[in-house]
Amino acid sequence: MVAGRLCSDPLARRSFFRVAGVTVAGGPAAFIAACGAKRGSPTATTATTTGASADVAILNLALDVENLAIAAYAGGAKLLRGPLLKLGKEFLLHEREHASGLSEAIKQLGGTPNKAKPSYNFPKLVSQKDVLRLASKIENTAIAAYIDAIPKLSTPDLRATAAAIVTNEAEHLAVLQGALKRPQTPTAFVIGKP
């Protein structure tokens, strides 16, 4: 059940990376293994140096978007109430898990994870609806960014993990749209909005 625990427990995942001392080949693959690869059999990933450096650049862009989302959910929480506050906190945890996973993958590829900005220039938020709208916009941006990035990632496992993140962001979006009384699944092909 190690894989299941790694997937659901970010702390376990971090400690797995640290303890296992995995190589470039095993690192991102292990990150992926945490989310579905064959148990007890780390997926072999043959990232070339060029592929790895390109992957680092792409993953850092994804990390920037995740950090933006973290700031938005953290800053907007004070305006959320009741069930939406609970969901907002849950979504914040999800974005942190994505950021943590991306950072680990970047390190395993020999890169340096981008840091979050000290502050983000969000529009003034005065109501719960403002937060829902801002979060929807960021989720849409993230979805579009990941979908654009997926074919550029050099390994199947990184692509699958990015797809699992996209699907999570699309789920967030469905909840946010529902809370705004808008259609939750408006299109059969979810493309986001850049």
Partner 1 sequence: MISDRIVIRDGDADTAVIAEFEATRREAMRRGLAVGGVVIAAAMVPALLNVRNAFAQARDDEAVLVAAIGLENTAIAAYAAAIKSGLLDRPTTKIAELFKRQEAQHRDGLSAALKSLGGTPPSGANAALLKPLKRVKTQAEVASFAVELETMAVAAYYDAQKKLKAAKLLQTGVQIMANEGQHLVVLRQALKKDPVPNAFENGKTAK
In the complex, the residues that contact partner 1 under the rule CB under 8 A are: 3-4, 7-8, 10, 35-39, 41, 87, 90-91, 93-94, 97-98, 101, 143, 146-147, 150-151, 156-157, 159-175, 178, 184-185, 187-191
Q: Taking Cα atoms as reference points, which of 190, 80, 90 lies closest to residue 132?
A: 80
Q: Which H or E run includes 17?
A: helix 10-20
Minimum CB separation from partner 1 for residue 122, in Å?
A: 22
Q: Which H or E run includes 50?
A: helix 49-76
Q: Which is nearer to partner 1, 23 or 90 (CB)?
A: 90
Minimum CB separation from partner 1 for residue 142, in Å?
A: 11
Distance CA 4, CA 178 (A): 30
DSSP codes, 159-173? HHHHHHHHHHHHHHH
Minimum CB separation from partner 1 for residue 93, in Å?
A: 7
Q: Which is nearer to partner 1, 3 or 22 (CB)?
A: 3
Q: What 3-state class would DSSP assign to 131?
A: helix
Minimum CB separation from partner 1 for residue 147, in Å?
A: 5
Q: Which is nearer to partner 1, 3 or 134 (CB)?
A: 3
